[in-house]
Amino acid sequence: MSDVRYSAKRPERHLNAALTIGSATMSHDGGMLTSLTSAFHYDFGYSWPFTSGHLLVCVVALLAGAFAWWRGQRGWLLGLAALVAVWGLAGAIAMHYAVQINEPARLASERFLPSGGGRVLELGAGSGRATVGLLLARPQARVTAVDLYKGYYGIDDNSAERLKRNAATAGVGDRVEVTVADMRQLPFEPATFDAAMSVAAIDHLDWPDIEKALRETARVLKPDGQLLVVSLNSDVWVRVAIPPAIHGTGFWGSRQLVQRWRDVFAKTGFDITETGTAPATLYWLVTRR
Ligand SMILES: C[S@@+](CC[C@H](N)C(=O)[O-])C[C@H]1O[C@@H](n2cnc3c(N)ncnc32)[C@H](O)[C@@H]1O
């Protein structure tokens, strides 16, 4: 695996400037400040433990520390409170800046949909975090967002309506349609789409279902169509924010197995174009044979 670090910012801006002159659409990828303020613009619905849980822990620890100080406690209690407060702050920064829990997700690969346009299938679109990110980054693309909207995936009131509201807020609502369906059984004709994408979604299935969904994606993609698969990477950002990732078991172990992904892509008719990482992110850009 070539461990390419995320470097899309400049090329992305350049590419999109060429497509829509004077466009400021990439401002959604504006760095730390944008990450911390985007919650005021969008409502992707991730539950409070993910969006504000870390900050809450930080504030409670600070208050506990202040109380301990006031009571003349200068020992281990104060040290513990300081440690927990620092963890809470670091976790909040990781969730908002690296995981981008409540802002349009940045496009992991600048090589995805380089023409800027085309009909894109999104698998497991949820409340539209990645949908909006893609539509902002690729101003001539149209997205068919597929989701089952069943079960809990960290999003409250996960629904097509929520996705559409977020797309409208971003000013891209006219370029997205939602189909409620199972990514393992797609209700589309063969060779319907120019490209496909799945962010923190297909990787949530177990391996036999990932294989099924990839076969279905290959069927509905045009030959040479690209597929971008983005998964949470248990790098330092994620390990700070979500300590269970440190153990590397379950989802955190098996979905990180690069060789396993290579095998499943090869089996289902895809060639790997690029694999890489970004903060909290592991991605594969593959092309249908
Ligand atoms: C963790 S959420 C990610 C949502 C969005 N892509 C994001 O990055 O915020 C995973 C999504 O996958 C959807 N999903 C899970 N299994 C699915 C399936 N078999 N077919 C379609 N969607 C599915 C869930 O409903 C959920 O919206």
- How many A from CA of 281 to the centre of ligand 1? 16
Residue 191 included in any domain: yes
Residue 276 included in any domain: yes
Ligand 1 pocket test: pick from 101, 107, 153, 206 the residue with the most ligand atoms within 8 Å of its Cβ.
Answer: 153
Structural domain span for residue 16: 10-32+101-288
Contacts of 48 (CB under 8 A, 6+ apart): 56
Pairing type for strands 221-232 and 281-288 reads antiparallel
Backbone angles phi, psi at 236, to 5 degrees: -65, -35
Residue 67 included in any domain: no
CATH code (residue 146): 3.40.50.150
Protein residue with least CA distance to atom 9, ligand 1: 129
Protein residue with least CA distance to atom 26, ligand 1: 126
Say how many domains are in the chain: 1
Residue 63 included in any domain: no
Instruction: State residue 23's pLDDT score.
Output: 26
Instruction: State residue 30's pLDDT score.
Output: 52
- How many A from CA of 149 to the centre of ligand 1? 7
Measured from the CB, is residue 148 less than 6 Å from ligand 1? yes
Instruction: State residue 34's pLDDT score.
Output: 58
Percentage of the chain lying above the pLDDT 90 cut: 67
Contact 62, 45 (CB under 8 A): no
Instruction: State residue 229's pLDDT score.
Output: 96
Residue 242 included in any domain: yes
Give the bridge partners for 231, in sequence order: 282
Token output for 274:
């690029």
- How many A from CA of 90 to the centre of ligand 1? 27
Contact 16, 23 (CB under 8 A): yes
Measured from the CB, is residue 147 less than 6 Å from ligand 1? yes
Measured from the CB, is residue 162 less than 6 Å from ligand 1? no
**Residues of the chain whose pLDDT is less than 50?**
1-29
Residue 234 included in any domain: yes
Instruction: State residue 209's pLDDT score.
Output: 97
Measured from the CB, is residue 201 less than 6 Å from ligand 1? yes
Residue 90 included in any domain: no
7/113 Cα distance (integer angstroms): 16
Instruction: State residue 37's pLDDT score.
Output: 62
30/109 Cα distance (integer angstroms): 17
Protein residue with least CA distance to atom 1, ligand 1: 153
Question: What are the tens digits of pLDDT across the range 120-154?
Answer: 999 999 999 999 999 999 999 999 999 999 999 99
Residue 112 included in any domain: yes
